[in-house]
Structure 1
Amino acid sequence: MTKNLGANDQYRALAGDDPDLALARWETMGRREKQAWARAMVDFLPTNPGPTMLSFIIGPARAGDTSNLGAAWEHNAGAFSLLGFDASDFYTLHLCIRRRVGDLLSHAGTKYCIATHNPDNALGLIPEDWAEWLRRVRAGVSPLRALDVVLDGDTRTWPRATTTWDDGSVDVSV
């Protein structure tokens, strides 16, 4: 079950634990970093403000202008960035989620995203709830497996395998 929040609560969830700090992080990002976040968010909308507002956001964002993204997008990017995500991590997470979006939205007791009318169009992720995914990816777990572990815990059965290389090193699939 996703968090069914009112508009103001959805905005706060996207902004992370400290909205002021998230916005400050956005404001200190360089031009290229903001552009990377804008491109990622154009493909994976954190909110859908409607067709008219999207026309003012998406066209300029694709052209590299990040001045019209809107506070919710800026806060969301800043909050993810504060957790160590960069735009490519955010993009990869969303690509992984697309594989399991139905599971995510119906996952009993989930806290990972806000309710949205059309998750194919916009899926607002709550930044703090994805810190464990990034930690696992940074530790060498594949992004898809990290998603499964975060969503399912350690209860899922995994294909386990080991490979011993000529130099004696061992790779273990966990």
Structure 2
Amino acid sequence: MSNKPVDAGNGAADEFDPTDGWGEVPEADRPLWARYMLDYCPQFLGPTIMTLIARGVVFGGTKIPEDWKETAAELHNAGFTPLHYYLLASLLSDKRRREELDEATHGHLFKKWYGNYPDFPDFRLDAEAWKPWLERIDRAESPGRALDHMLHGPFLPPLGAVFSVNGPTQVASD
């Protein structure tokens, strides 16, 4: 294979050496990290640059900004997969739209709080701060419920109650 640099717009896979900024992120996962970070980017670089990045990424390329690669490497080292990232970013995006996130209360969970582009919010998660979320979903907790614990603490209202005709009411919670 050639080591010739690949144009960002042609969609071809990039030829990277081990010191390219991806750290220990497996090569097979890099296209997914790149694609999911295009949807929920750690740094929005403006419409023109984002269009150039998108042309390559949507066809499986991995040519993305260093900041994105560093974020992927940090999250990978904390135990995240690309799908974990996409799921958490999607859940956080919903919370942000409903104005359930604020920097004073939740800023410690981010290395970079949401940017100034309202239609294209960029952010960077603090990988170590989100390890408890991963642990909760690894124990089969709902990702949304795990996020609520991360945002609001351990004492959430119960999920509901089960009423029985033959016995006591049981509270369903985590």
- Taking structure 2 as the reference length, the TM-score comes to 0.73
State the one-letter code of the partner of 1:24: G
Q: Could you tell me how far apart the structure 2 residues matched to 1:119 and 1:128 are? A: 26
Say if 2:106 and 2:151, in contact at 8 Å, map to a contact too.
no
Partner of 1:83: 78
Say if 1:133 and 1:150, in contact at 8 Å, map to a contact too.
yes
State how many pairs are aligned: 145
Cα deviation, residue 118, structure 1: 3.0
% same residue: 26
Partner of 1:16: none
Larger radius of gyration: 2
State the one-letter code of the partner of 2:101: L
- In the alignment, structure 2 segments of 5+ residues that lack a partner are 1-18, 165-171
Cα 1:162–1:138 change in 2 (3 A) is: farther
Among 43, 50, 55, the residue aligned to 2:46:
50
State the one-letter code of the partner of 2:34: A
Partner of 2:150: 150
State the one-letter code of the partner of 1:69: I
Partner of 1:168: none
Cα deviation, residue 85, structure 1: 0.7
4+ aligned runs moved over 3 Å, structure 1: 160-164
Say if 1:162 and 1:173, in contact at 8 Å, map to a contact too.
no
- In the alignment, structure 1 segments of 5+ residues that lack a partner are 1-19, 165-171
Moved more, 55-64 or 96-105: 96-105
Name the one with the larger helix percent: 1
1:71 paired with 2:71, answer no
Aligned-CA RMSD value: 2.6
Cα deviation, residue 156, structure 1: 2.5
Cα deviation, residue 61, structure 1: 0.5
Q: Could you tell me how far apart the structure 1 residues matched to 2:106 and 2:36 are? A: 28
